[in-house]
Amino acid sequence: MCSLPTSTEAVVFDCDGLLVDTEACWTVAETAIFAAHGHPFGPEQKALVIGRTVEAAGEAMAQYLGRPGAGAELAAELLERVRTELSRGAAALPGAAELVRACRAAVPIAVASNSPRELLDAALWSAGLADYFTHSFAADEVRSPKPAPELYLTACEALGTTPKRSVAFEDSATGIASARAAGLYVAVVPSLPRADLDHDWLGTSLAEPELRDWARNLGDGTVR
């Protein structure tokens, strides 16, 4: 049975790699940058950048590639490459649309993303999810994006509830840290296989039946 509370009053979703299959776009961009500097790009390198803002990813790449001071340059290249890849389209991940619809029917929902507004909007529209959300928050709209708690605190305030009565859906350690610091319950569908991620619920897909059942029972005041 799902360990998330059905007394939940709001649900906040990450976007990239959780609702929308954009990590492929990011990986293509990141692979090209690493290759240009003579480095392979695999799970180890992906773990350095996944879930980070464009700026933080640029800094992480600069450090790894031995190019101190080049973080802003690499971030700008990353943004341009992701923009190009995303323009080709990105699909909703399995179960995403169904879970979003089920949660929206019961409680207020929002998106809290570490992408800039431009890429967040493009991802949601491409996947056909934009119309489900009246509230969404991007990394370039807060002072301190993930792993700081501000994005989730901002979302909960906009939805008129408290973090302790809200659930965050995440796919990366960076996002999990943000949601946990804000005080939300955390449901995790990892983009990278990891067994050590902090979570209240851990699964392999948003399409898992127990999540669907949980969403259908939202608001009945019980914990299952």
Residue type (1 letter), 5: P
Chain-centroid distance of CA 102 in Å reads: 19
Residue 88, beta-bridge partner list: none
What is the predicted pLDDT for the residue at 222?
Answer: 41
DSSP at 38:
T
Question: CB of 26 within 8 A of CB of 36?
Answer: no
Q: Is the pLDDT of residue 1 over 60?
A: no
Phi, psi angles (nearest 5°) of residue 200:
-100, -30
**Tens digit of each residue's pLDDT (9 = 90 or more) over 68-113:** 999 999 999 999 999 999 999 999 999 999 999 999 999 999 999 9
Phi, psi angles (nearest 5°) of residue 157:
-60, -45
pTM metric for this prediction: 0.91
What is the predicted pLDDT for the residue at 194?
Answer: 77
pLDDT averaged over the chain? 94
**Tens digit of each residue's pLDDT (9 = 90 or more) over 25-66:** 999 999 999 999 999 999 999 999 998 999 999 999 999 999
- Count of CA atoms in the C-beta half-sphere (13 A) of 206: 26
CA distance 201 to 25: 27
What is the predicted pLDDT for the residue at 224?
Answer: 34
What is the predicted pLDDT for the residue at 223?
Answer: 38
CA distance 90 to 57: 21
Please identify every residue annotated as catalytic. 14, 16
User: How does DSSP assign 23-34, residue by residue?
Assistant: HHHHHHHHHHHH
Between residues 142 and 51, which one has the greater pLDDT?
Answer: 142
Q: Is the pLDDT of residue 221 over 70?
A: no
